[in-house]
Amino acid sequence: MNFDTIIKGGSVVTASDQMRADIGIQNGQITAIAIDLTDPAATTIDATGKLVLPGGIDSHVHIAQPSGDGIVMADDFESGTRSALFGGNTTIMPFCLQERDGDLRSAIDWYRGLTEGQLYTDVAFHLIVANPSPQVLGQQLPAAIEDGYTSIKVFMTYENLRLNDAELLATFDVARRHGGTMMVHCENEDAIRYLIDRHEKDGEVRPRAHASTRPIPVEREATHRALSLAEIVDLPIVIVHVSNGAAAEEIRRARQRGMKVTAETCPQYLMLTAKDLEGMDWEGAKFVCSPPPRDEAEQAACWQGLKDGTFDLFSSDHCPFRYASEDGKLNPKGAKNFRYIPNGIPGVETRLPILFSEGVMKGRIDIHKFVAVTSTNHAKTYGLYPRKGTIAIGSDADIAIWDPDLVKTVRHEDLHDGADYSPYEGLTLRGWPVMVMLRGKVMMRDGQLEGALGDGHYLTRASAPPSKTI
């Protein structure tokens, strides 16, 4: 057999196995895994001493979404996928956001248009339903699910995005009937509004107030409510960006009742705390995201949740805004009052190195868990498996080769996103991807870009409810 590429001598790791093996690649797919491949190959890559992992899949990123008056997201699809690639990812899943006064189809067309020729990684889209009108629920959402837009995020917070309980139920019901997967942002908007008003009356408008207006019960209550509403219509759901132990406990209890729940946490809930929002001179704005980072005890609860299987997914929730910018965190109103600071932080490039270094290298999780929560489970949850998310014969040759001994300190100037800071500036991490291949093509090698814009593809998907897969 002839191969286009053989990766030789690496330690191949999947969510379940680790083996010293060579990988043969032909026409973008893995066609052989063997102890010693000697067949001719156009290219041989020496992976001795390295880990050969499935490319990362980040199933929660925001690219080019508008976020309020005059606020611009710092990444378009070029910079967002470039940054993802350098962080060891081969697929990302951003969102097509329905405007409150817009329809779903135009949202899909708009975001798909933005990706044309602009991708360094593969991309598949989730939808955000912001207005579940009769047209959206009756025709547009079923048609979109039929077209392969099978995962749909809804919000219980943010004035312009939140759905009330009746709207949540109705949207869940459509998803259940048509084979969609619902992702829910769980925070109680009315409680947040009340707390924001109270803080403002007290004159507390600094970035730190973002955390104190979104305390844990705000998230715990909404998590419980989302789970209950899903239970009422018998729908498996995904609870995204869980920040604390109490919300994780709600998820475990729902599972004990027999519910099918997939749960996600993110680097900010392992590495940051509400103290970061207290930075001097409004620097706390750099860490404003929702739910907010908590404290060390909640960090430990999130690590525990990763370890014990409460969390299936580890995503970045990359949502980048420039800090020192009039169209970013320090917009004219945001520079004076926390409620106008756009929510979200960058992190698509640091997600995998953080979990590898802080999780695997520090012995908190094993390498199989790392692969599962950063790649395999994302593919399974969102209908991309086994094309993506593993190293197996017939899978796309989306591969990240890691040097477990490479030590680097995070500096934003070395990253590739469009923001002007990293929340993890100065963090020293052991273990980084040194080569990333997308469908057999080397895209990044030793920190240098080798792929071309347009090498990334848009991925069509099959419907795959979380209950059936993980």
Q: Tell me which residues touch ligand URP (CB under 6 A).
A: 62, 185, 241, 289-290, 317, 319, 343-344
Residue nearer to ligand URP on the CB measure, 290 or 299: 290
Place of tokens 């998820």: 251
Question: Could you give the 3-state DSSP secondary structure of residue 166?
Answer: helix
Count of residues in contact with Zn ion, rule CB under 5 A: 2
Place of tokens 């132990």: 245
Residues 183 and 169: their CA atoms lie apart, in Å, by 13
Residue nearer to ligand URP on the CB measure, 120 or 269: 269
Q: Give the shortest CB-62-to-ligand URP separation in angstroms.
A: 5
Q: Give the shortest CB-423-to-ligand URP separation in angstroms.
A: 12
Of the candidates 27, 19, 25, the residue with the CA atom closest to the CA atom of residue 7: 25
In the chain, what is the straight-line distance between the N-terminal and C-terminal CA atoms, in Å? Answer: 34
CB under 5 A: which stretch of 184-192, 195-203, 245-253, 424-432 binds Zn ion? 184-192
Of the candidates 284, 389, 379, 300, the residue with the CA atom closest to the CA atom of residue 337: 284
Q: Give the shortest CB-185-to-Zn ion separation in angstroms.
A: 3
Say whether residue 317 binds Zn ion (CB under 5 A).
yes
Task: Say if CB 150 and CB 464 are below 8 A apart.
Answer: yes
Q: Give the shortest CB-374-to-Zn ion separation in angstroms.
A: 17
Q: Can you say whether the dihedral through the CA atoms of 19, 359, 370, 7 is positive or negative?
A: negative
Residue nearer to ligand URP on the CB measure, 60 or 461: 60
Say whether residue 189 binds Zn ion (CB under 5 A).
no
Q: How many CB atoms sit inside 10 A of residue 270's CB?
A: 20
Cis omega (within 30 of 0) for bond into 466? no
Residue nearer to ligand URP on the CB measure, 33 or 110: 110
224 binds, among ligand URP, Zn ion, none (CB under 5 to 8 A by kind): none
Task: Say if CB 357 and CB 298 are below 8 A apart.
Answer: no
Q: Give the shortest CB-241-to-ligand URP separation in angstroms.
A: 6
Residue nearer to ligand URP on the CB measure, 18 or 325: 325
Residues 90 and 87: their CA atoms lie apart, in Å, by 9
Residues 155 and 225: their CA atoms lie apart, in Å, by 12
Angle CA 13–16–21, to nearest 5:
35
Structure tokens at 302: 């999130």
Q: Give the shortest CB-266-to-ligand URP separation in angstroms.
A: 8
3-state helix, strand, coil split of the chain in percent (to 5) is 35, 25, 45
CB under 5 A: which stretch of 137-145, 197-205, 295-303, 311-319 binds Zn ion? 311-319
Checking DSSP bridges between strand 151-155 and strand 181-185, what pairing results, if any?
A: parallel
Residue nearer to ligand URP on the CB measure, 24 or 87: 87
Side-chain half-sphere CA neighbours of 32 within 13 A: 20
Residue nearer to ligand URP on the CB measure, 85 or 289: 289
Residues 470 and 460: their CA atoms lie apart, in Å, by 20
CB under 5 A: which stretch of 123-131, 181-189, 271-279, 419-427 binds Zn ion? 181-189
Q: Give the shortest CB-289-to-ligand URP separation in angstroms.
A: 4
Q: Give the shortest CB-161-to-ligand URP separation in angstroms.
A: 8
Of the candidates 380, 362, 382, 365, the residue with the CA atom closest to the CA atom of residue 431: 362
CB under 5 A: which stretch of 21-29, 127-135, 199-207, 310-318 binds Zn ion? 310-318
Closest residue by beta carbon to Zn ion = 185
343 binds, among Zn ion, ligand URP, none (CB under 5 to 8 A by kind): ligand URP
429 binds, among Zn ion, ligand URP, none (CB under 5 to 8 A by kind): none
Residue nearer to ligand URP on the CB measure, 31 or 290: 290
Residue nearer to Zn ion on the CB measure, 290 or 390: 290
Q: Give the shortest CB-344-to-ligand URP separation in angstroms.
A: 3
Say whether residue 219 binds Zn ion (CB under 5 A).
no
Q: How far is Cα of residue 87 from the mean position of the Cα atoms in its chain?
A: 13
Where on the chain is the footprint of Zn ion (CB under 5 A)? Answer: 185, 317
